[in-house]
Amino acid sequence: MSTWANLGLQDSASPLMEQLIFFHDHALLILVMITVLVGYLMFMLFFNNYVNRFLLHGQLIEMIWTILPAIILLFIAFPSLRLLYLLDEINEPSVTLKSIGHQWYWSYEYSDFNNIEFDSYMIPTNELPTDGFRLLDVDNRIVLPMNSQIRILVTAADVIHSWTIPALGVKVDGTPGRLNQTNFFMNRPGLFYGQCSEICGANHSFMPIVIESVPTNYFIKWISN
């Protein structure tokens, strides 16, 4: 989860998020190079006294400064498309979790396991334990096994919500009347926090998501109660 003064991305907990961070850093580096170059050129213009009274056209330089930025943009476009299709790929999931957005809580269904279902509400500040995270902890956490492919089906019962977990690189809208799909692979144990990210009404900020990533045998123990 994010803590004080964490302005960047959270540490990744899945291979896809790791790739997203690599792409972010790659794009940012290109952005910095462009900004420095253009900034330098604009700054240097202030100290330029040269005048060319006969300048009407410059075909060659126009060609260069049109094609060159286009080529630079390809270095962002191709890795971006690679990531886009990588995020969309589903790799034989071993567990499927269904998340349903409500005003204002999430409910979950484990369709593979006797259709276990439960609601997950945020713990109000006045009921929060001293080691709890305010506006982020829930009464019933999702428990999922680490090191396995997990499929998430997202929908909503009333208005549009969005099931978002930054550390896993997951962000899927839950839309009434639709069923969206995504998948992820958690490569370490821990608690992963998320929040709804579609403006869904008065308590939009108060329907967080908590995933408990545990070893597979622990998950089996939990699911069989």
Q: Which is nearer to ligand CUA, 83 or 159 (CB)?
A: 159
CA 25 to chain centre: 15
Task: Say which residue the tokens 């958690």 belong to.
Answer: 186
Answer yes or no whether residue 161 interacts with ligand CUA by CB under 6 A: yes
Give the orientation angle of helix 15-45 with respect to helix 59-88, to 10 degrees: 160
Nearer to ligand CUA by C-beta: 151 or 161?
Answer: 161
End-to-end CA distance of the chain: 28
Residue 198 contacts ligand CUA per CB under 6 A: yes
Min dist. Cβ of residue 207 to ligand CUA (A): 5
Q: Which is nearer to ligand CUA, 102 or 151 (CB)?
A: 102
What are 196's two structure tokens?
């709804």
Nearer to ligand CUA, 12 or 162 (CB): 162
Is residue 208 a contact residue for ligand CUA (CB under 6 A)?
A: no
Please state the closest distance from residue 115 (CB atom) to ligand CUA, in A: 23
Binding of residue 123 to ligand CUA (CB under 6 A): no
Helix (H) or strand (E) holding 102: strand 95-102
Distance of alpha carbon 164 from alpha carbon 184, whole angstroms: 12
Q: Using the rule CB under 6 A, which residue among 16, 143, 167, 200 binds ligand CUA?
A: 200
Stretch that binds ligand CUA, among 11-19, 81-89, 91-99, 192-200 (CB under 6 A): 192-200
Residues binding ligand CUA (CB under 6 A): 101, 161, 196, 198-200, 204, 207
